[in-house]
Amino acid sequence: MAAVEFSHVSCTGAVCSCFLLAVAYVGSLYAWKSDLPRDHPATVKRRFVGVLLVTLLAPLYLWLISNDSADPQGPHLLQWLGLQTEGFLLASTLPLLLTMLLFLGPIAMCLTDGSCYSPITRGMMYIKYRYRDVLWLRNFIVAPFTEEFVFRACMLPLLIPCLGPGLAVVVCPLFFGVAHIHHVFERLKTGDQSVKVIWMLTMFQFSYTTVFGAYTAFLFVRTGHLIGPYFCHAFCNEMGFPNFGDVFTGSKLRAVLLSVLYVAGLVLFLVFLWPATQASLYSNSTYKWT
């Protein structure tokens, strides 16, 4: 496969291309007119078709606007997209373990109160009931993969030549965060909440998804692989946003131990964040961020 590059794409062109990809992704969710709620199986299946089509067309768009690289040994398109075999094993495990460190407190809490519901268990149920649990398929397969592919793998190759890796990691998730604002229309449609509450929830979701997007963008650039961000995305979909209030329910000893684990998890995460994502561990020669 021939080496390609995107250094000729201007900053304006890169930002506009990312905006186009984001609009295409969100637009595909509403391509099918329906009065059914977003979690209805028929709605979910129709949206699968839309986002998978965008996921297939996005790399074609990148290929069309790319130039042949002056360096014949440079990265080819699949490498830009984080699809490579070298370093795959570590890329599929270390970023996930790093993320689990960050969630050390929530993991301990759900293990002690019995609320943990393993994605593997969900997967086995999905197979057992003949692929009927489309929500499991959406939350752990389709949504994490397509979002990471379109919003990270297809946007960062355009942004990094213009902005550099550090700023690209900050700018890239803004498209991801804004893309989630469309949920406000679905909440307004149901009429279950006041407009004020809906906008508060939407702004919180925008903030949370933007920060999370910056983290997975960081993982993508540092490792040069898509698999790590995908696994971390699926894991975070399972865990959800930590419920800090539940830490202080129950006995005082439980609250102290969980508090220690929350803090310890955050400290360990920050300590290992940079060394555990060294490019050399993952044979990442595409994205250089030292």
- Cα–Cα distance measured from residue 54 to residue 49, given in angstroms and rounded to the nearest whole number: 9
Tokens 């999370």 belong to: 212
Q: Is 238 exposed, middle or buried (0-12, 13-18, 19+ CB in 10 A)?
A: middle
3-state secondary structure the chain: CCEEECCCCCHHHHHHHHHHHHHHHHHHHCCCCCCCCCCCHHHHHHHHHHHHHHHHHHHHHHHHHCEECCCCCCCEHHHHCCCCCCCHHHHCCHHHHHHHHHCHHHHHHHHHHCCCCCHHHHHHHHHHCCCCCHHHHHHHHHHHHHHHHHHHHCCHHHHHHHHCHHHHHHHHHHHHHHHHHHHHHHHHHHCCCCHHHHHHHHHHHHHHHHHHHHHHHHHHHHHCCCHHHHHHHHHHHHHCCCCHHHHHCCCHHHHHHHHHHHHHHHHHHHHHCCHHHCHHHHCCCCCCCC
147 classed as catalytic: yes
- Cα–Cα distance measured from residue 290 to residue 131, given in angstroms and rounded to the nearest whole number: 44
Active site residue: 147, 148, 225, 233, which one? 147
Active site residue: 40, 76, 180, 183, which one? 180
* Catalytic positions, written as ranges: 147, 180
